[in-house]
Chains A and B, each alone.
Chain A
Amino acid sequence: MLKVKDLKRYFKSGDVVVKAVDGVSFEIPDGKFISIIGQSGSGKTSLLSLLGALDKPTDGAIEVDGSDITKLNANSLNSYRANTIGFVFQSYNLVPNLTAIENVMLPMEFIKVAKTERLARARELLAEVGLSDDQMDRKPGKLSGGQQQRVAIARALANKPKYILADEPTGNLDSDTGRKIFNLLHDLTKKEKTTIIAVTHDLSIAGKTDQSFRLKDGKLVNSSVAKKKK
């Protein structure tokens, strides 16, 4: 269960205060697929950064299974990022000097998985997202955008996180590939009972999710529970 209470993130640039996230509250039960929509600059990315503990809120609380992650110390924050959250970014963000399989193995290192186990799980995950053996040993620079995003999804799933946070995961892909990636994400997380919070511009995708949040100027304007279940 994820509970967000009156969450605020203000940026001060010079004399101007930008209220990127301005008093957002919501609750998400486990295993849901949530989409966040809103215009550019409405605060979607800022909200996701706070949920993933990549950034500290100006005010408010984020309760994950009863404990407020905004009050964690550095070590616990690292552990939260490693164990509880999986990230999928719009620009993939793979480590360029590591092969696909090494990229997937990377987060497992932070939760102290043995090396052979890391290798086996990474291979399994990459196969699951549809990468060939030959592609697994390539560096990101030698993979297509769609392939890189598949690697990124495999990496996000590596530590079996409870939450997957995805910021426009299909934004850099053509709509066909984008849909495939989204379905993949959806299927994989349904299997593991993972909660997905995904930012998207694609309303057809948003319509298929369990619930959709709309942000406007840092505020939640309406949250619609999708009537038609997929």
Chain B
Amino acid sequence: MNWFSRGVRNAFRNATRTTALVVIIGLSIGLALSMLIANQAVSQKINSVKSSVDNTVSIFPAGLRGFAGGGTPLTQSQLKAVSSEPHVTKLDETLSDRLTSSDTNLSSAISAGSLGRRFAGNGFAGGNGGFAPNFNFTPPVTVNGTTDPTNLGSSSATTGGGSFSLKSGSVINGLSDADVAMVGSALAAKNNLKVGSTFTAYNTTFTVSGIFSTGTKFGDNQVIMPLATVQRLSGQVGDVTAATAYVDSIINLSSVTSKIKQILGSSADVTNSEQQAQTAVSSLQSIQTVSLYSLVGAVIAGAVIVLMSMVMIVRERRREIGIIKAMGSSNLRLFGQFMAESVTLTLIAAVLGIIIGTITSNPITQMLVSNSSTGTSVKAAGPGGGFGFARHFGGLAALRGDVSTIHAAVGYGIIGYGLLAAVVIAIIGTLAATYFIAQVRPAEVMRVE
């Protein structure tokens, strides 16, 4: 018997109280753990969403996305001011256009289908006015004149997103004015084009410099040319339908974005990827905050329970404490004894808490996430091969979709945290009780009860 084993034994002195304390403290540790697990799962998600954010600013003519909506194109002279802005490292410009059967010998690799006919029939595609479904309609071939031919992200509304990969040949120079083009793999297959082959567009003969693929059928049905070439041949010199500004650091992203908005005024829709990600993570962040507060709250609640119990126990054992002091024990030894008692109790509670936390963490995380993301989630990811508009937000919707797939993982770390929480709770709870231990005057034991 020493102070330590006395403390451990005292933890089991009163079976009813021990059980009640273990259950209550176990519940608070369990709650704290599941909140910790939820918090970790959510912050992991936030980090992955945030790390997917690049420091770019998207610029579109006001009211226009791809071939949807309307408005007037931006001009390169307007954008000059943007590219000379400090912190803007690079500015990609794109002019999207469509080839009609009258000025090209290329035929589209995509058949209209019901979606195509529907959009075409509503005059959506232009040139085919009237409401009668147009059964002869074939989706036109998209031409993207761009300064950065390998970057599809800059004008994802028209390129269909995806990632550019060169299948054969070489990449064109986006800054040139030559009659060269890269052709999407689907379009090339449909028209039997190879590197070095020629085709007609804008009544001009183009040489195929490379064949590329994007991973989407829509993207692989397009032609990429230098910006200046498209501008010249389509009679839109100086016009731009999409631009992407690259910012040197994510820190400057929002300031540069507002600066660009200021420069372009109402003529452009300016957004950055951070804003899009921000919307997606904001609900996650509130869950993170809630779970953090609950975590802290549960630990505090546990500590308060231990504190109150220990104060109660100390008051109940005043006489015993007095006896031990009268026999020459230091206060410190008594503190140690009571500390051992509370740590024993909370460690048993921690075992219960770890079990509770492991069982409840996943449902709790799911509940928190689904409750707070309803009402903000985007309903559909947009038609895959359609006309681009929905595509632009497709990525974001997918991002949101991911939110509900958060999985709370229970690792060995959690067991460690559970035990740590137990010890912290016990120490905080018992520290206050030591005051009452120190207060016991040994002379009291002389009094007969």
Residues of chain A at the chain B interface (Cβ within 8 Å): 45, 48-49, 52, 54-55, 74-75, 78-83, 87, 89-91, 93-98, 102, 105-107, 109-111, 115, 155, 159, 167, 171
Contact = CB atoms under 8 A, between A and B. Distances in A.
Nearest to A93: B323
B17 interface: no
Contacts of B326: 52, 54, 81, 87
B327 A96 contact: no
A155 to B, nearest CB: 8
A54 B443 CA distance: 5
A105 B328 contact: no
B323 A111 contact: no
B442 to A, nearest CB: 4
B324 A93 contact: no
**Which of the listed residues B13, B323, B441 has the most CB atoms from chain A within 10 Å of its own CB?**
B323
Nearest to B1: A102
Nearest to A171: B448
Nearest to A81: B328
B9 interface: yes
16 contacts: A48-B446, A49-B446, A54-B441, A55-B442, A74-B330, A83-B328, A87-B326, A87-B327, A89-B446, A91-B449, A93-B445, A95-B320, A105-B1, A110-B333, A115-B2, A155-B327
B446 A98 contact: no
Given A93-B319, A97-B320, 12 more contacts: A49-B443, A54-B442, A78-B329, A79-B328, A91-B448, A94-B323, A95-B320, A106-B324, A106-B327, A109-B329, A167-B446, A171-B448
Nearest to A105: B1
Interface residues of B, number: 27
Interface in B69-99: none
B320 A96 contact: yes
Listed from nearest, the 9 A-B pairs whose CB atoms lie closest are A82-B328, A81-B328, A55-B443, A110-B328, A54-B443, A54-B442, A107-B327, A49-B443, A102-B1
B1 A107 contact: no
A98 B328 contact: no
A41 to B, nearest CB: 13
Nearest to A95: B320
Interface of B: 1-3, 6, 9-10, 13, 319-320, 323-331, 333, 441-443, 445-449
Contacts of A87: 326-327
A54 B446 contact: yes
A109 B1 contact: yes
Nearest to A106: B327
Contacts of B324: 95, 106
A96 B448 CA distance: 16
Contacts of B13: 97
B323 A78 contact: no
A45 B333 CA distance: 27
B327 A45 contact: no
B329 A110 contact: yes
A78 B443 CA distance: 13
B1 A106 contact: yes
Contacts of B331: 74
A78 B328 contact: yes
Contacts of B320: 95-97
B327 A90 contact: no
A159 B328 CA distance: 11
A90 B1 contact: no
Given A95-B320, A97-B9, A45 B446 contact: yes
Contact of B445 (A54, A83, A109, A111): A54
A185 B330 CA distance: 28
A84 to B, nearest CB: 9
Contacts of B323: 93-95
A97 B317 CA distance: 11
A107 B328 contact: yes
Contacts of A75: 330
A59 to B, nearest CB: 17
B443 A98 contact: no
A74 B1 CA distance: 24
Contacts of A45: 446-447
Contacts of A52: 326
A142 to B, nearest CB: 15
A78 B442 CA distance: 11
A78 B269 CA distance: 81
B141 to A, nearest CB: 90
Contacts of A98: 1, 6
Contacts of B447: 45
Given A54-B443, A97-B13, A105-B1, A82 B327 contact: yes
A98 B323 CA distance: 13
A159 B325 CA distance: 15
Contacts of B10: 97
A80 B325 CA distance: 11
Contacts of A102: 1
A84 B107 CA distance: 110
A66 B171 CA distance: 104
Contacts of A80: 328
B140 to A, nearest CB: 90
Given A95-B320, A98-B1, A89 B328 contact: no
